[in-house]
Chains A and B, each alone.
Chain A
Amino acid sequence: MDFATILQVLDSTVRLATPLLLACLAGLFSERSGVIDIGLEGKMLIAAFASAAFAYYFSQNPVAGIGPIWMGLLMGVLASLAFSGLHGLASITFRGNQLISGVALNFLASGLSVLVAQSWFHEGGRTPSLPDEGRFDGIVLPGALGPADAEAAGRPLSELIAQANPIQQIYSELISGHSILVYVAFLMVPATWWVLFRTRFGLRLRAVGEAPEAVDTAGVSVTALRYGALVIAGVLCGLAGAYLATGLQAGFVREMTAGRGYIALAALIFAKWRPWYALMACLLFGFLQAIALRYQNIDLGAFTVPVQFMDALPYILTVVILAGFVGKAIPPRAGGDPYVKER
């Protein structure tokens, strides 16, 4: 494996880890507040659909001043927020079962996205391919090699990067050239840490996930805090879905999240509900996927690791953690229980 290949695999890792990371942080906010969020998958899916559909609509009917991509992003986030609101209504206000409400959201998103896409676009439950102005472009950071340099030199970008010095290679291939949502996702990690562990809101949020009755006794609204957490989760899932449909792809295809919401949940448990560990877990799971995609069956000489094993590894690792072999994963204590005020 040469240096360029390692960089390409790591580059792929970053792209694959970004939706996981955003969804994982969404789950982190929600579960830290005591609301189990199995509906990450559904929220991502509906956001992916809404962002692609509206990015397409506004690229055909431009609104002065705002690019279609931003309208798409906004609508994606709003759709995800609406789903978060439903989840909150069912599980916080009406004290329903959080798991059932989450699963219902997943089914709703899966059906609704295809149905609406079919009725709007008549393309079999997908959106039309987005034109360039409806997609997030890679951002070329200052000093990095980008498509403009390649055009000036008249050679492919990969060739230019391969001939640069190692530091420039790392900078241009791995760090530069991603869409803005990737950088936002990575910045969200310190932001999440700061909010959770350095602000009053964060302290209360963590408390409401451990002992909501104590928070209530102190005169702080449990309901408002949990809704607040769900709003943040909705925004983050919206970004994740928009990244899938308008950053990585050029449109929505049915079921395009393909289980990423569940892998994000696994990563959340793997990270034991902590932001920095969530980053590590998502990068690890993204790396495993990237390796599996690049090297299908890995020949270790004595035996071959089949690609199925690599695909299953995130779940296997999570089970190992849950079984208590490596440390202990203790979820927020009030997770899953609707809060009933004593009368």
Chain B
Amino acid sequence: MTMMKTVLGTAAALALSAGAALADPALIYDLGGKFDKSFNEAAFNGAERWSEETGGSYRDIELQSEAQREQALRRFAERGFNPIITTGFSMSTPIANIAADYPDTKFVTIDGFVDPEEHPNVLSILFSEHQGSFLVGMLAAMASESDTVGFVGGMDIPLIRKFACGYAQGVKAVNEDATVISNMTGTTPAAWNDPVKGSELAQAQISQGADVIFAAAGGTGLGVLQTVADEGAHGIGVDSNQNYLHPDQMLTSMLKRVDVAVADAMEAGADLETGVQVLGLAEDGVGYAVDEYNESLITEEMAAAVEEAKAQIISGEIEVHDYTSDDSCPVLDF
């Protein structure tokens, strides 16, 4: 009995001390999983970097099902974590549901949107994926010898169409006559994890003449990039830097700096400024990757052209159409 009391007492003390860790940030990963080599892993890397640099600590949780979203948010809020950072557009609704119950806690939704008027304690971070995709589209068009390039999307959702549309615009900006073949893997979440289908899509696009293919498809993209490498074409990765997957075969990767967004939010802590934040080229929120694995493929001319376009997009001279603004794309039919 005394043994039992000691154990229980220790457990209670531990629980109390955990609860007392006030104002530590918390991070909630979306269903894709913490180590998805892409979106969520970027968030994790950002948090780790913040923790290393500042010595601070944070809590994180990987969601396993839809039902856990609200539960996880409430648990973290009640334990006093602040701010609570979430990844994925699916978190915006649960946050809107509970934000009013915890007015002193700051919530961050990356890729989601919560009305700042109604919920003053929420920060929505959005990325201008169309701008980054535009740049890799330009690179694709310049690297292509057949004047045909491909795009393979994961699940057919507006966000992925935004990638495709920006990419196609970039291609057309370099070469008006180039052909863009665009395919979506499917319409259910299984489309994010079907590399076999991704391979077949890549093969079909290659046989139609495509020699550069941009994969914005999560785990499916790994199949796309594998086939592209096997067939001697060039691939473009997404979200994280995926150049290392197939050295000298990957043209580049479209970067989405989720890690920077997470690290910044953690740095700001409880004093985080809420509202809506859009991270584009100007804020270095999106971009393209050049490293030792692909520098042989990016010529000086290409780099110069892309850098120029980047400056023009930032200054507003080039305006890249955002698919989600009016659900249509001027250069690509879905």
Contact = CB atoms under 8 A, between A and B. Distances in A.
Interface of A: 4-5, 8, 12, 15-16, 19, 118, 122-126, 129, 156, 158, 244, 248-251, 253-256, 258-259, 289-290, 293-294, 296, 307-308, 311
B203 A296 contact: no
B204 A256 contact: no
B245 interface: yes
B36 to A, nearest CB: 6
B226 A250 contact: yes
Contacts of B34: 124
Nearest to B193: A255
Contacts of A296: 183-184
A290 B200 contact: yes
A8 B199 contact: no
B196 A248 contact: yes
Given A4-B207, A258-B193, 16 more contacts: A5-B207, A8-B207, A12-B200, A19-B196, A122-B35, A123-B35, A124-B35, A125-B33, A249-B226, A253-B195, A253-B223, A258-B196, A258-B197, A294-B204, A311-B186, A311-B187
Interface string B161-188: 0000000000000000000000110110
B199 A124 contact: no
A185 to B, nearest CB: 15
Q: Of residues A8, A244, A250, which shows the largest number of chain B Cβ atoms within 10 Å of its Cβ?
A: A250
9 nearest A-B pairs in the assembled complex, by CB-CB distance: A124-B35, A258-B194, A253-B219, A255-B193, A294-B204, A8-B207, A258-B190, A293-B200, A250-B226
B201 interface: yes
Contact of B197 (A156, A293, A308): A293
Interface residues of chain B: helix, strand, loop or mixed (majority): helix
A177 B34 CA distance: 38
A188 to B, nearest CB: 20
Contacts of A307: 184, 187
Contacts of B186: 311
A256 B195 contact: yes
27 contacts: A15-B200, A122-B35, A123-B35, A124-B36, A125-B35, A126-B37, A126-B219, A126-B222, A129-B222, A156-B232, A249-B199, A249-B222, A251-B226, A253-B193, A253-B219, A254-B33, A256-B193, A258-B193, A259-B190, A289-B197, A289-B200, A290-B200, A293-B197, A293-B204, A294-B204, A296-B183, A307-B184
Contacts of A258: 190, 193-194, 196-197
Contacts of A253: 193, 195, 219, 222-223
Contact of A308 (B187, B190, B203, B219): B187
Contacts of A256: 193-196, 219
Contact of A254 (B41, B193, B226): B193
